[in-house]
Structures are given as C-alpha cells and as structure tokens.
Amino acid sequence: MSNTSKKSEGAAEKLGGKLKGVAGKVLGNERMEAEGRAKELKGAAKVEAAKAAERNKGKLEEVVGAAKNRVGAVIDNEQMQAEGRAKELKGEARQKANR
C-alpha cells in the first residue's frame, strides 16, 4: 500500500472517529464519544506515519541527487549534474509537501 493511500485511509479514519465522537457527545453516550476520539487519534497517527515515510523518501532522493550532481560536476558531465539537481529538487519538494 502506498503512502498516499495510507494517508487517505488515515484521514478517513480520523474523520469517522470525529463523527462518532460528535454523535456520542450529542447522544450523551460517553463510551461512543471516547471510542470516536480513539479512532480519530488512530487515524491522525496513520496520517503522520505516512507523511514521515514520504519525508524520508524525499531526504533520500535529495541526498542521492546531490551526490549525482557533485559527481557530474567533478567529471564535467552537465547532463549528470542536471539529472542530479532535478532529483535533489524533487526530494526537497517531497519533504516540503509532507510537513
């Protein structure tokens, strides 16, 4: 399962928990309210775990891209430098998108 689908699953679980918690509060059912809150927190944790995994992928892309960029510069290969820089920027963007 991809991190994107894990994020979506977590967001859905978080929303479902929020709704259950509100319903429990409206109905005066403390157990339902507590179960909803627990489900909401579990969903939020899934979202954060997926974001962390994406940030890690982004950091790895950034490091690999930077290395390729530097090697390209040392051996005077402009294409390698450009590919490395592109990968580096892609990694930075992935990290930024998952803060």
- pLDDT, one tens digit per residue, over 15-56 is 999 999 999 999 999 999 999 999 999 999 999 999 999 999
pLDDT at 3: 85
Instruction: Round to whole Å and give the CA distance between 71 and 56.
Output: 23
Q: What are the tokens at 19?
A: 């709704």
Cα 61 from chain centroid (whole Å): 15
User: Is the four-CA dihedral 34, 15, 6, 97 of positive or negative sign?
Assistant: negative
pLDDT at 66 over 90: yes
Query: pLDDT digits over 69-81, tens only?
Result: 999 999 999 999 9
Name the more confident of 80 and 2: 80
Write down the pTM of the prediction: 0.79
pLDDT at 65 over 90: yes
Which residue type, as a one-letter code, is found at position 91? G
Nearest to 41 by CA among 25, 19, 24, 18: 18
Phi and psi torsions of 29, nearest 5°: -100, 100
